[in-house]
Amino acid sequence: MEKMRLAILSDLHIADLGEFPYGVDTRSNFLKALDLAVNDRPDMLIITGDLCFREGVREVYCWIKNELDKTGLPYRVISGNHDKPALLQKVFHPGEPLMNSEFFYSETIRGKHFIFCDSTNAILSETQWHWLVDTIEESGDNVFIFIHHPPFRSAVPYMDEHHAFEQMEKMEDIIANFDKNFFLFCGHYHCEKTIIRDQCIAFITPSTFFNLDDRYEDFTILNKIPSFRRLVISTDQIETGVFS
């Protein structure tokens, strides 16, 4: 298989025009990260949730879509806790179905089965869990999952205590039931992390908005530097790193 090169951006938190949360021009930061990603010459872009600052807004989604369309690259988008899945689906992926107000889907690209989950509410519905198990069964030995929330505690005290995924044990149990290698790509925690748990490696992509200092239990901003994650998948290995 030829190498497949992806660029992952997360937690854009695009605010209204003229609004600068924490003194950040979120639109400018996103465009800087997008430019970095495009210049890395990826085959595809993936946005792992929290596109909007507070909650899903059509104008913001349309603005982001327009900027993504300008790149000429294919892209996939998933929902985060600051999004509205139904609205996001209508704007970015109108051809994909919406299931009980959740937006999750899978796709085989260049022989790799990619699974895109919806953890907007910090949980997955029973419908989505059943779908996830079935989809994992249909995947090969290497399972690629994109989900906004990290599936495990990740040594980021503020996020682990206040904004963590609420079904970690269930995710761990499902992964443990399969003799496969799992590669999960997440956002949400506003930092760069790699967590290894048995046969699963979870990679957290930092935010284009701001990133947290994981040394502290309180909310502490480390930087406001936009970045993206490079992911290169080949026959016998994956390579990934964060660039700003």
> Can you give the pLDDT at residue 146?
99
Per-residue pLDDT of the chain in tens (244 residues, 90 and over written 9):
679 999 999 999 999 999 999 999 999 999 999 999 999 999 999 999 999 999 999 999 999 999 999 999 999 999 999 999 999 999 999 988 899 899 999 999 988 899 999 999 999 999 999 999 999 999 999 999 999 999 999 999 999 999 999 999 999 999 999 999 999 999 999 999 999 999 999 999 999 999 999 999 999 999 999 999 999 999 889 999 999 9
> Can you give the pLDDT at residue 48?
99
Predicted confidence (pLDDT) per residue in 131-169, tens digit: 999 999 999 999 999 999 999 999 999 999 999 999 999
> Can you give the pLDDT at residue 54?
94
Q: What DSSP assignment string belongs to the chain?
A: ---EEEEEEB---BPPTT--GGG--HHHHHHHHHHHHHHT--SEEEEES--BSSS--HHHHHHHHHHHHHTT--EEEE--TTS-HHHHHHHH-TTS--BTTB--EEEEETTEEEEE---TTSS--HHHHHHHHHHHHHS-SEEEEE-SS-SS--S-HHHHHHS--TTHHHHHHHHHTS-SEEEEEE-SSSS-EEEEETTEEEEEPPBSS-EE-TT-SS--EEE----EEEEEE-SS-EEEEEE-
> Can you give the pLDDT at residue 110?
87
Rounded (5°) CA angle 197-199-202:
55
> Can you give the pLDDT at residue 100?
87
Nearby residues of 25 by Cβ (< 8 Å), 6 or more positions away: none
| Paired sense of beta strands 200-204 and 181-186, if any | parallel
> Can you give the pLDDT at residue 212?
97
> Can you give the pLDDT at residue 193?
96
> Can you give the pLDDT at residue 1?
61
Domains in the chain (CATH in brackets) are 4-243 (3.60.21.10)
> Can you give the pLDDT at residue 50?
98
Q: What is the mean pLDDT of the chain?
A: 97
**What percent of the chain is modeled with pLDDT above 90?**
95
Predicted confidence (pLDDT) per residue in 180-208, tens digit: 999 999 999 999 999 999 999 999 999 99
pTM above 0.85, yes or no: yes
